[in-house]
Structure 1
Amino acid sequence: MPQTASAPQTTFKRVLLKISGEALMGDQGYGLHPPTVQRIAEEVKSVHDMGVEICMVIGGGNIFRGLSGAAQGMERTTADYMGMLATVMNALAMQAALEQMGVFTRVISAIPMDQVCEPYIRRRAVRHLEKKRVCIFAAGTGNPYFTTDTAATLRANEMACEAIFKGTKVDGVYDKDPVKHDDAKRYDRVTYDEVLAQHLGVMDASAIALARDNNLPIIVFSLDEPGGFRGILAGQGTYTTVHS
């Protein structure tokens, strides 16, 4: 972990930021909220300006969630593909916001759609990062039955990221929902096995197991806290580290 410092310095050179699609809809019940997209893009730019290489994975739940579609009677595979396409829409929105700020960005899709974004080729993606471009990985893993949490963990390992930063609405991992329970306890550090055994809801079980098997730390923090992403990379702020 980075040490506390007054200057904006970080020991992380390459990280992956995972956010939900719901994070982009602000106070709306659906879709994209442009001011919220802009605010998150500013957070990403502030970390990019520190010299950190950034990957991103954004969920699609603000537009369509495969599990919800399947629960309503839609065939699961079709519903999941629709969810994957929703993540591409979110990735394009984030790309537009970042590039308006002068941050070079590539949207890289697990499902080829050459007129819209690049197909996923690992070596090419690594080269983009080396050139200080933000890489936004879209369409999950390209396969149904896998969440964007699992996709984020997979891409973070493939890109040799040093940590996954999971942006949420709360400032870490709690033993129960802090919105509903005033006595909820926040963990500073928690192991992968504890997350799985206690069903702490950091990520789905497949993602946690993949992170554990590759000793990839997950840092859970509040995306609603202004400057939170940059602050944690500078060794400040409140967060939970999931580790071995």
Structure 2
Amino acid sequence: MRIVFDLGGSVIMPENPSSEKIKEYAKVFKKLKDEGHEIAIVVGGGKTARDYIRLARELNANDSLCDTLGILSTRLNALILAIALNDYSIKKIPTNFEEAEIILSTGKIPVLGGTHPAHTTDAVAAGLAEFINADLLVIGTNVDGVYNKDPKKFKDAKKYSKLSFEELVNIAISSSLKAGSSSVIDPLAAKIIERAKIKTVVVKGEPEELLKAVKGESDGTVIE
């Protein structure tokens, strides 16, 4: 199976990043690769990006420069994971989908960060999944699925176990417009998932949960 993993920056690079935790992620990806799956990974910016963007804004940087810093930050995080993957990956972070596909064709695991200004890494992961005709997109976030509102703020938030592509788009758009609601997938990523009809699983971004998502054993949200 050809799989794209979308790892949120706050998952792979939290407040206090741990080399041991990054090794755990690498172990999961190596295991899946050894089982015969083709894997590509997109990594978010997390605290790394937030810190640089905050500093840039304090220095009166415009949004375009902040986008550039955000992309560079995601690529730093991607390189850390690529290093942990050892010979399963290469120490060159692709800057576009074509480069990622070339690395994939050599039997290695491409690890990407951002590619386009104003695009989230969710959108990059969805776009990459479409570009390489992935069978599955696994989104690892700091919550365990898609909810009707932010579960960290609202105790009565409802998690969806399954969604259609159209339902995902409607939730993503609604969440981007309404205060007090939250979606873990941005509208552009949702639209790409819908048009390409990519089976997607949203899970808590822990190593074991990523593995369960591939095996069909996750209790996250399945979109198909």
TM-score (norm 1): 0.77
* Letter of the structure 2 residue corresponding to residue 90 of structure 1: N
Residue 205 of structure 1 corresponds to 187
Q: Indicate how the Cα distance of structure 1 residues 27 and 79 shifts in structure 2: closer, same or farther if over 3 A, else same.
A: closer
Matched, 1:227 2:201: no
Residue 47 of structure 2: SS of its match in structure 1?
A: coil
CA shift, 1:127, in A, is 4.4
The structure whose residues are more often helix, as a share, is: 2
Matched, 1:14 2:8: no
Larger mean CA deviation between 62-71 and 201-210 belongs to 62-71
Verify the 8 A CA contact 1:195 1:201 in the aligned structure 2.
Answer: no
Residue 218 of structure 2: SS of its match in structure 1?
A: coil
Matched, 1:91 2:78: yes
Matched, 1:215 2:190: no
Query: Equivalent residues in 2 for 1:1-244 (5 A)?
Result: 13-28=1-16, 32-65=17-50, 73-99=60-86, 102-105=87-90, 107-110=92-95, 120=96, 122=98, 125-138=100-113, 140-141=114-115, 143-198=116-171, 199=175, 200-224=182-206, 226-243=207-224
Rounded to whole Å, the distance in 2 between the matches of 1:238 and 1:107 is 34
Residue 67 of structure 2: SS of its match in structure 1?
A: helix
Rounded to whole Å, the distance in 1 between the matches of 2:157 and 2:97 is 43
* Letter of the structure 1 residue corresponding to residue 201 of structure 2: I
Q: Indicate how the Cα distance of structure 1 residues 106 and 211 shifts in structure 2: closer, same or farther if over 3 A, else same.
A: farther
Equivalent residue pairs, number:
213
CA shift, 1:18, in A, is 0.3
Residue 138 of structure 2: SS of its match in structure 1?
A: strand
Verify the 8 A CA contact 1:47 1:229 in the aligned structure 2.
Answer: no
Q: Which runs of 5+ in 2 are unaligned?
A: 176-181
RMSD over equivalenced CA pairs, Å: 2.4
Q: Indicate how the Cα distance of structure 1 residues 235 and 74 shifts in structure 2: closer, same or farther if over 3 A, else same.
A: same
Residue 179 of structure 2 corresponds to none
Residue 114 of structure 1 corresponds to none
Rounded to whole Å, the distance in 2 between the matches of 1:148 and 1:236 is 25
Verify the 8 A CA contact 2:162 2:223 in the aligned structure 1.
Answer: yes
Q: Indicate how the Cα distance of structure 1 residues 237 and 126 shifts in structure 2: closer, same or farther if over 3 A, else same.
A: same
Larger mean CA deviation between 175-184 and 152-161 belongs to 175-184
